[in-house]
């Protein structure tokens, strides 16, 4: 049992849309990522996702609305809901997702990341 310094973990990388694992609990990965620009439309058939903004601003697009998420706020995207994250400026996010969750969900894409690095 050790304290995890989230900002120190963010300081270890600079790329965007490449989640890293910083912890595990109850069948869930605790992941962090830096994001900027647009991601892809996708959904997760079996997994809900929790997004928490640490720094910056996350825009989550859904087919019927757009939601803005600011530092200290969370957004839970239920399984099966198509969504597209984006950020105008570099944004730091934390995610809680089941071990089975792949970042691009049901879409194979150049941004798909499997076998994530543990920091």
| Tens digit of each residue's pLDDT (9 = 90 or more) over 72-109 | 999 999 999 999 999 999 999 999 988 777 665 666 66
Over the Cα atoms of the chain, what is R_g? 13
CA gap 39, 5 in Å, rounded: 27
In a domain, 105, yes or no: no
The answer to whether position 104 is within a domain reads no
Is 35 within the bounds of a domain?
Answer: yes
pLDDT tens digits, residue range 26-79? 999 999 999 999 998 998 899 999 999 999 999 999 999 999 999 999 999 999
Range of the domain at 49: 6-98
* CA–CA separation, 28 and 11 (whole Å): 23
Per the domain annotation, does 32 fall within a domain? Answer: yes
Can you name the residues that pair with 58 across neighbouring β-strands? Answer: 69
- Establish if 116 belongs to a structural domain: no
Residue 56 sits in a domain whose CATH number is 2.60.120.10
Quick one: which of 38, 26, 18 has its CA closest to 119?
18
Question: Does a structural domain hold residue 87?
Answer: yes
Structural domain includes residue 83? yes
Confirm whether 11 is domain-assigned: yes
- Quote the number of domains for the chain: 1
């Amino acid at each position: 049992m050790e304290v995890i310094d989230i900002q120190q973990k963010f300081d270890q990388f600079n790329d965007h849309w490449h989640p890293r694992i910083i912890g595990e609990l109850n069948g869930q990965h605790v992941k962090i990522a830096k994001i900027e620009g647009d991601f892809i439309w996708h959904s997760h058939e079996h997994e809900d996702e929790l997004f928490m903004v640490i720094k910056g601003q996350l825009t989550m697009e859904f087919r019927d609305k757009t939601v803005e998420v600011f530092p200290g706020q969370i957004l839970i995207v239920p399984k099966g809901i198509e969504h597209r994250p984006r950020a105008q400026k570099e944004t730091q996010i934390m995610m809680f997702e089941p071990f089975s969750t792949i970042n691009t969900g049901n879409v194979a894409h150049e941004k798909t990341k499997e076998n994530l690095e543990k920091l």
